[in-house]
């Protein structure tokens, strides 16, 4: 647990979240400000700041997170596909520095790209 990391606090239960999946290494919960009808965040329970901070040790974990995205999207109701996004660093406009995969979907095609409102 890294102090003052909001997602570490969600992992510990200190901050509530709407969880859709939990196992020993991965937590999946609904984004508090959904940008699409289905908007999940897939995070590792251990603190990794960003995709720029992973080591080879994390490749398996990342594979299991990405590999299950389809399962999580389908369970959440996005049955005909979804989009995954990993914002990284300043250029990627990452806001929360605890690695997360956005899983975006719904029952209609998304716009060609997802833009931020701000
Ligand atoms: P980023 O911009 O870092 O890729 O995305 C961070 C995401 O985390 C945003 O979509 C934001 O809505 C979401 N988020 C930030 N704080 C919380 C929170 O306390 N709970 C939940 N469920 N989502 C959060
Ligand atoms: Zn963290």
**Number of domains the chain contains:** 1
| CATH code, 37 | 3.30.428.10
Q: Is the minimum distance from the CB of 87 to ligand 1 under 6 angstroms?
A: yes
- Ligand 1 center–CA 1 separation, angstroms: 17
Kindly indicate the confidence band of residue 75, based on its pLDDT and cuts at 50, 70 and 90.
very high
For residues 43-61, average pLDDT: 98
Q: Is the pTM of this model over 0.85?
A: yes
* Residue 111, domain member (yes or no): no
Domain coverage including residue 57: 6-105
For residue 116, give Cα distances in angstroms to 34, 60, 83, 87, 100: 11, 30, 15, 12, 17
112 within domain boundaries? no
Q: Is 6 in the pocket of ligand 1 (CB under 6 A)?
A: yes
The pLDDT > 70 percentage for the chain reads 95
């Amino acid at each position: 647990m890294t102090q003052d990391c909001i997602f570490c606090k969600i992992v510990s239960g200190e901050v509530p979240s709407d969880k859709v999946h939990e196992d020993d290494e991965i937590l999946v919960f609904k984004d508090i400000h959904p940008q699409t009808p289905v908007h999940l965040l897939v995070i590792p329970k251990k603190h990794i700041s960003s995709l720029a901070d992973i080591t080879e040790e994390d490749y398996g974990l990342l594979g299991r997170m990405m590999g299950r995205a389809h399962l999580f999207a389908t369970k959440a109701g996005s049955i005909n596909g979804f989009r995954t996004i990993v914002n990284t660093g300043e250029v990627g406009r990452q806001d929360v520095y605890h690695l997360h995969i956005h899983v975006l979907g719904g029952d209609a095609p998304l716009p060609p790209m997802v833009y931020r409102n701000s």
